[in-house]
């Protein structure tokens, strides 16, 4: 008998993938956590029946979310990741040689432990001595920080359930206070094709807090609509202007100076729907 995982993107629109094995399944304190092996997407992690990461395209998402803000900083040393319990963003942040410490704060410790046990493509950063992993409430942690981080990266679920608090103007104000002068903030901001109004509202909240804010996109085929949006905001320079370039030895598979430049170019409809309307 065939086993399929199906995620409902929107009413009347679903994504289905054939499952070859159920690797892990647990009802955590916060959500239903599952890891599957699949025929076409490799190993995937889902929360409450929503795909969070897949082996086939996670590198696009994580390299975009992390390297756009970090390369806009001349020498980032302390990085905070809110969410990101799968370890993908941590893995990418640690590639920057100037980084001395990366703190990951995720509310669900079971996600972290499941990644350590079952997601070898993502979990390499957890063993790095520069990594500091905290199981706890992200907004509460950020609210206590004052001028401590060169970059804050919010690697969150959708703005429902545990992730809802990570999309408020109050949270963005806390992030601003947590940043050092010249610091940067980046977050995933949902589908610009299927949810333009949601993206617009998130970006407006960020824009009311930060003096400089930009939207950029990257293709993530296993996320609703296949194209994903991100926000990058700054206390200093324009996030669109890189201060450094990647080293070929890092083995980046998506991020490059050329892809960065293209990422900030929005087509006329997206510009209207998100920025101008």
Residues with catalytic function:
155
Distance in angstroms (rounded) separating the CA atoms of residues 43 and 55:
6
Q: Are 43 and 55 in contact (CB under 8 A)?
A: yes
Three-state DSSP state, 257:
helix
* Helix axes of 169-178 and 196-209: crossing angle, nearest 10 degrees: 40
Strands (E), the chain: 3-10, 13-27, 32-38, 42-47, 50-54, 78-83, 101-106, 131-135, 149-155, 179-188, 212-219, 227-234
User: What residues are paired with 234 via a beta bridge?
Assistant: 184, 212
Distance in angstroms (rounded) separating the CA atoms of residues 97 and 77:
9
Buried b (16+ CB within 10 A) or exposed e, 71-100: bbbeebebbbbbbbbbbbbbbbbbbbeebe
Residue given tokens 């094709």 in the structure block: 193
What tokens does 198 get?
């949601």
Distance in angstroms (rounded) separating the CA atoms of residues 207 and 248:
34
């Amino acid at each position: 008998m065939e086993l399929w995982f199906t995620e409902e993107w929107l009413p009347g629109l679903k994504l289905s993938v054939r499952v070859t094995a159920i690797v892990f399944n647990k009802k955590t304190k916060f959500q239903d956590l599952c890891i599957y092996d699949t025929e076409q997407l490799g190993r995937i992690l889902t929360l409450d029946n929503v795909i969070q990461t897949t082996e086939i395209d996670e590198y696009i998402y994580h390299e975009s979310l992390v390297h756009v803000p970090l390369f806009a900083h001349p020498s980032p040393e302390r990085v905070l990741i809110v969410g990101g319990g799968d370890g993908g963003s941590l893995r990418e942040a640690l590639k920057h040689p100037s980084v001395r410490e990366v703190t990951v704060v995720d509310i669900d410790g079971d996600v972290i432990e499941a990644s350590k046990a079952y997601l070898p493509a993502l979990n390499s950063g957890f063993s790095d001595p520069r990594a500091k992993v905290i199981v706890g409430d992200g907004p509460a942690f950020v609210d206590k920080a004052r001028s401590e981080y060169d970059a804050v990266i919010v690697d969150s679920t959708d703005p429902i359930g545990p992730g809802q608090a990570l999309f408020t103007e109050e949270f963005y104000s806390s992030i601003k206070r947590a940043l050092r002068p010249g610091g940067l903030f980046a977050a995933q901001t949902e589908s610009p094709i299927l949810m333009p109004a949601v993206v617009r509202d998130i970006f407006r909240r960020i824009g009311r807090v930060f003096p400089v804010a930009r939207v950029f996109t990257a293709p993530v085929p296993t996320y609703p609509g296949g194209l994903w949006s991100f926000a990058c905001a700054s206390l200093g320079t324009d996030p669109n202007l890189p201060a450094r370039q990647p080293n070929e030895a890092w083995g980046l598979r998506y991020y490059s100076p050329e892809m960065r430049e293209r990422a900030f170019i929005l087509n006329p409809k997206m510009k209207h729907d998100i920025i101008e309307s």
